[in-house]
Structure 1
Amino acid sequence: MRKKFLHALLVAERVLRTDIKYLARGGFWLIIGQVGTVLFGFLMAYVFANLMEPEKYGVYKYILSIIGLTGTLSLIGLGKAVNRAAAQGVLDALPHGFSASLRWSIGSIVAAGCIGTYYLWNDNLIIGFAIFFGGAISPLIAAASLYDNFLSGLQEFKTKTLYNLLRSIVPIGILVGVVSITNNPLLLSTAYFSTTFIATYFCYHRIISQYSKTTKHLHHEMLSYGKHLSGIGIFATAVAQLDRILVFSQLGGTALALYAFSEVAPDQMRSTAGIVNSLAFSKMTQQDYDQIRRTIARKSLILFAVGLTLAGIYIALAPYLFSLFFPQYLAAIPYSQAYALTVPLVFAGALYSQALVSHAKKKLLYINSLSTSLLRLILLAVLITPFGIWGVVWATLGYYAFGLILLLVTFYFFDTNTGKRMKPGARSGNWTPEELA
């Protein structure tokens, strides 16, 4: 039996052209973690749907979106830089990343303070104080959360999964208790940010004591790359928060609650691509870029098929799932089904984006991030007023579709070093079109 199993692994390695043993070893724990994340997320959504008024839930989600928006004024790309440094053997990347993240979070704190002051000035005490508190705590959460990237770089997937499950259980348990007592968005957001910080910092402190020690002095390089990734991602991250902010400001809290529930399942399905990202990133940092180019197309087609299958199953089951678990939000079903179409697009592009990030192809990353984010912003501005929630859905679908197309174009037809379009017949390495099949 063991010989047959090993033979099956060898066959799979030849077909997929990848290290199946590595996938099985690391993927098992990442899948366990993802299943836990999905279950916890579903539990939280079920509790909010059945115990919280839609208008107040919309206010709560709006507060989180504002904090997410102000958080873009920090080193949001530092996590990938820490991941890359850890994969290269820099075992003190985590404490240096923590301190750098805090130093560069002043902008986000000031922005949150200004927005909070605006709401207090206009007598909206709940949103104002919630933004003040969230803006002060979220930089600490972001800095401590770097332990996750650090463990990914070390390929310590079991440890990463166990700590992440602990980090999820504590805030969810507290939130379930709070929402069963009160629907006040200020109390809910305070409970969320405070318990998330406590759980995250506990995990960070444990990882520091177990793994971190002085090694190579590549901290300047790590910080420099983190700044580049932050610059690349700041516009995209900000625009990603704007959809909920625009829905709340133009359509109200109840509409935002409806929109948020339409995203629950598609968001969870898209997040499973994080398993691929975690496994691929640390592996790709140790591989030659041209080797990646020779094998990536086949793997991405398989991922696209997996994502398409997941989306199809969900589209068929969505009416029954909403009727059973979220009967107050049946109007969200068509939006949610449409959002499911983003899943295969994210799966198809996962390896390509990780290849660019792991090998620091900064110019191509800038091209992709700025172009797709600008398109998303334009589509949101044009479509939300005449079409409401459907306008936001169409803008998001257009963003993901254009993002995948642009990713493929820049990956195959642009020089990876200069970021310029290659001349016809040129190539960026020792590969042939036949090798991509």
Structure 2
Amino acid sequence: MHYLVHKLYTERGNLFSIFSTSMIGIFASFFLMLAFANLIDQATLGIYQYLIATVSIIASISLTGINSAIIRATSKRQFSFLTIALRYAIYSAIFPLVIALIAASYYTFNGNFIFAGGILFGTIALLLLQIQLRYNAIYVGIEEFKRSNYLLKASALGPLLILLPALFFLNNPAILVILYFTSSLLGVSLVLFVLKTKKQIAALTSQHQSTFDESKNNKKNLWFSFHQSIVAVMNTAASHLDRIIVFQLLGPAATAIYFISMSIPDRLRNILKQFEPYLFSKFSKYTPEAAASTLGLKFVLGLIAIIPFFLCYILIAPHFFRLFLPQYIEAIPLTIMYSATLFASVAVIPYSKMKAHSKDAPFYIFTILFMFLKIIFIGLGAFHFGLEGAIVGATLATLLSTLNVFLLAKKM
């Protein structure tokens, strides 16, 4: 990830291009959320969210960190690593596929064919998508950012163009999950075909034979990918486990309300997260001591800057829900409660500083703590106080993790 940020922002200055691509993805998911909320019932949406979360966690157990290693290798023109990386990417898909088969067999044995089909075929589609997106990492490494953006836009717009019409006549959550990942896969595959990507990459690898030094570098890159994969699994679990917990404790309808309550604040936070690479490049220019000396002031100013957005959301959210999400009126007090997490957007400041100056240990601490905070707070909250408790738990976990990353970055 460090190489991705460095290439994009300090060498080429493609801030606007990458920001616009990210915004397309955010708004595409926002419009899909509105469509799901208005075109299918709460129970179906809850099951869909449960299946999406389950499939995402299972598929993350593959070697997802290989992308960071590919970026690092190709940025140094170590193209012999590509053959190894793409081969390991395929091999690593076997383990999550076995897990998906076991889960599907369990649900089939219990007569739940919707869950079985959604988990198995959804995992297959997502694993294929992950393999295809390895080529995006190559484009980033060789500084073909325009082509990289084409792939990312296709991945985001595919579900919007295919899944949105399907919602008018489909109400099967398993089929919707499969369509979601398959539509992204089709979009990315089409762009890869048009750009003749595989021929271009094959030409690169054929021109660069592996030497003894490159073999050592390939081993280092492969080990780096294992480390990055562990972090990726923990991040995915932290992002999706809450919906699984709420589903198991409160049921599908409550899961749908939980998801809708959090959707808009989460997307607003994601918009601000797009500035992380820019902040990373800024912090990288200073020594750890110099960056830490101004971190507290930047953190406080960031909190103050968020106050107007927080107040606007509290005022606008009730009217927005009544107008565009009439089936989820009961989510209004929940989303107002969860809007406190908008202040967690300021975590992008210490997190960027930590990435610029720290080693791997702080990231493990931050990710593991955030994951366990969410599990404990949401689990206890949902068990004792229902949906309100789950939302309070998610809010507290997010805010405490923000404080945690600030303290970690301050010590670096």
Seen in structure 2, the aligned counterparts of structure 1 residues 350 and 78 have a Cα distance that, compared at 3 Å, is: farther
Q: Is the 8 A contact 2:354 2:408 kept in 1?
A: no
Identify the residue that residue 240 of structure 1 maps to in structure 2: 239
- Aligned partner of 1:179 among 159, 167, 181: 167
Identify the residue that residue 364 of structure 1 maps to in structure 2: 362
Aligned-partner residue type, residue 182 of structure 2:
S
> 1:390 Cα shift?
1.9
How do 1:98-117 residues align onto structure 2 when only pairs under 5 Å count? 98-117=86-105
Identify the residue that residue 384 of structure 2 maps to in structure 1: 386
CA distance in 1: counterparts of 2:159 and 2:337, whole angstroms: 30
How do 1:191-230 residues align onto structure 2 when only pairs under 5 Å count? 191-203=179-191, 206=195, 213-214=204-205, 217=214, 218-230=217-229
- Segment drifting more, 161-170 vs 395-404: 161-170
CA distance in 2: counterparts of 1:363 and 1:69, whole angstroms: 22
Could you tell me the percent identity over the aligned residues?
24
CA distance in 1: counterparts of 2:79 and 2:278, whole angstroms: 19
CA distance in 2: counterparts of 1:283 and 1:80, whole angstroms: 21
CA distance in 2: counterparts of 1:24 and 1:315, whole angstroms: 39
CA distance in 2: counterparts of 1:340 and 1:83, whole angstroms: 36
CA distance in 2: counterparts of 1:68 and 1:110, whole angstroms: 15
Seen in structure 2, the aligned counterparts of structure 1 residues 101 and 396 have a Cα distance that, compared at 3 Å, is: farther
Aligned-partner residue type, residue 70 of structure 1:
I
CA distance in 2: counterparts of 1:339 and 1:164, whole angstroms: 29
- Aligned partner of 2:25 among 25, 32, 37: 37
> 1:167 Cα shift?
2.3
> 1:184 Cα shift?
1.4
Seen in structure 2, the aligned counterparts of structure 1 residues 179 and 23 have a Cα distance that, compared at 3 Å, is: farther
> 1:271 Cα shift?
1.7
CA distance in 2: counterparts of 1:112 and 1:370, whole angstroms: 24
CA distance in 1: counterparts of 2:352 and 2:68, whole angstroms: 10
Where does structure 2 lack aligned partners over 5 or more consecutive residues?
Answer: 1-8
Seen in structure 2, the aligned counterparts of structure 1 residues 296 and 80 have a Cα distance that, compared at 3 Å, is: farther
CA distance in 2: counterparts of 1:409 and 1:172, whole angstroms: 39
CA distance in 2: counterparts of 1:75 and 1:408, whole angstroms: 29
CA distance in 2: counterparts of 1:397 and 1:228, whole angstroms: 29
Q: Is the 8 A contact 1:83 1:282 kept in 2?
A: no
- Segment drifting more, 295-304 vs 28-37: 295-304
Q: Is the 8 A contact 2:378 2:391 kept in 1?
A: no
CA distance in 2: counterparts of 1:91 and 1:301, whole angstroms: 44
Identify the residue that residue 395 of structure 1 maps to in structure 2: 393
CA distance in 2: counterparts of 1:319 and 1:275, whole angstroms: 27
Where does structure 1 lack aligned partners over 5 or more consecutive residues?
Answer: 1-20, 417-437
> 1:292 Cα shift?
4.9
Identify the residue that residue 170 of structure 1 maps to in structure 2: 158
State the TM-score, normalizing by the size of structure 2. 0.83
Q: Determine helix, strand or coil for the equivalent of 1:255.
A: helix
> 1:42 Cα shift?
2.6
Aligned-partner residue type, residue 240 of structure 1:
S
Q: Is the 8 A contact 2:351 2:409 kept in 1?
A: no
Aligned-partner residue type, residue 310 of structure 1:
F
Q: Determine helix, strand or coil for the equivalent of 1:272.
A: helix
Q: Is the 8 A contact 2:238 2:370 kept in 1?
A: no
Seen in structure 2, the aligned counterparts of structure 1 residues 49 and 377 have a Cα distance that, compared at 3 Å, is: closer
Q: Determine helix, strand or coil for the equivalent of 1:192.
A: helix
CA distance in 1: counterparts of 2:79 and 2:304, whole angstroms: 37
Seen in structure 2, the aligned counterparts of structure 1 residues 39 and 405 have a Cα distance that, compared at 3 Å, is: closer
State the TM-score, normalizing by the size of structure 1. 0.78
> 1:68 Cα shift?
1.5
CA distance in 2: counterparts of 1:358 and 1:154, whole angstroms: 22
Identify the residue that residue 56 of structure 1 maps to in structure 2: 44
Q: Is the 8 A contact 1:349 1:407 kept in 2?
A: yes
Q: Deviations over 1:21-42 (max 9, x none)?
A: 9699523223322332233223
Q: Is the 8 A contact 2:238 2:367 kept in 1?
A: no
Instruction: Provide the alpha-carbon RMSD of the alignment.
Output: 3.2
CA distance in 1: counterparts of 2:283 and 2:78, whole angstroms: 17
CA distance in 2: counterparts of 1:322 and 1:395, whole angstroms: 22
Q: Deviations over 1:151-191 (max 9, x none)?
A: 55666655443432222222211111211122111221222
> 1:61 Cα shift?
1.3
Identify the residue that residue 321 of structure 2 maps to in structure 1: 322
> 1:63 Cα shift?
1.0
Q: Determine helix, strand or coil for the equivalent of 2:275.
A: helix
Q: Is the 8 A contact 1:147 1:203 kept in 2?
A: no
CA distance in 1: counterparts of 2:141 and 2:292, whole angstroms: 21
Task: Establish whether residue 254 from structure 1 lines up as the match of residue 253 from structure 2.
Answer: yes
CA distance in 1: counterparts of 2:307 and 2:222, whole angstroms: 37
Q: Is the 8 A contact 1:23 1:279 kept in 2?
A: no
Q: Deviations over 1:130-160 (max 9, x none)?
A: 1110122222222323445555566665544
Q: Deviations over 1:36-76 (max 9, x none)?
A: 22332232122212221211121111111110121232234
Identify the residue that residue 132 of structure 2 maps to in structure 1: 144
> 1:265 Cα shift?
1.0
Q: Is the 8 A contact 1:352 1:408 kept in 2?
A: yes
Q: Is the 8 A contact 1:83 1:150 kept in 2?
A: yes
How do 1:277-316 residues align onto structure 2 when only pairs under 5 Å count? 277-280=276-279, 292-293=291-292, 299-316=298-315
CA distance in 2: counterparts of 1:312 and 1:384, whole angstroms: 27
Instruction: Please identify which structure carries the higher helix content.
Output: 2
Q: Determine helix, strand or coil for the equivalent of 1:372.
A: helix
Q: Is the 8 A contact 1:26 1:279 kept in 2?
A: no
CA distance in 2: counterparts of 1:299 and 1:266, whole angstroms: 22
Seen in structure 2, the aligned counterparts of structure 1 residues 254 and 142 have a Cα distance that, compared at 3 Å, is: same
Q: Deviations over 1:323-361 (max 9, x none)?
A: 11111111112222222222331x322243344445661
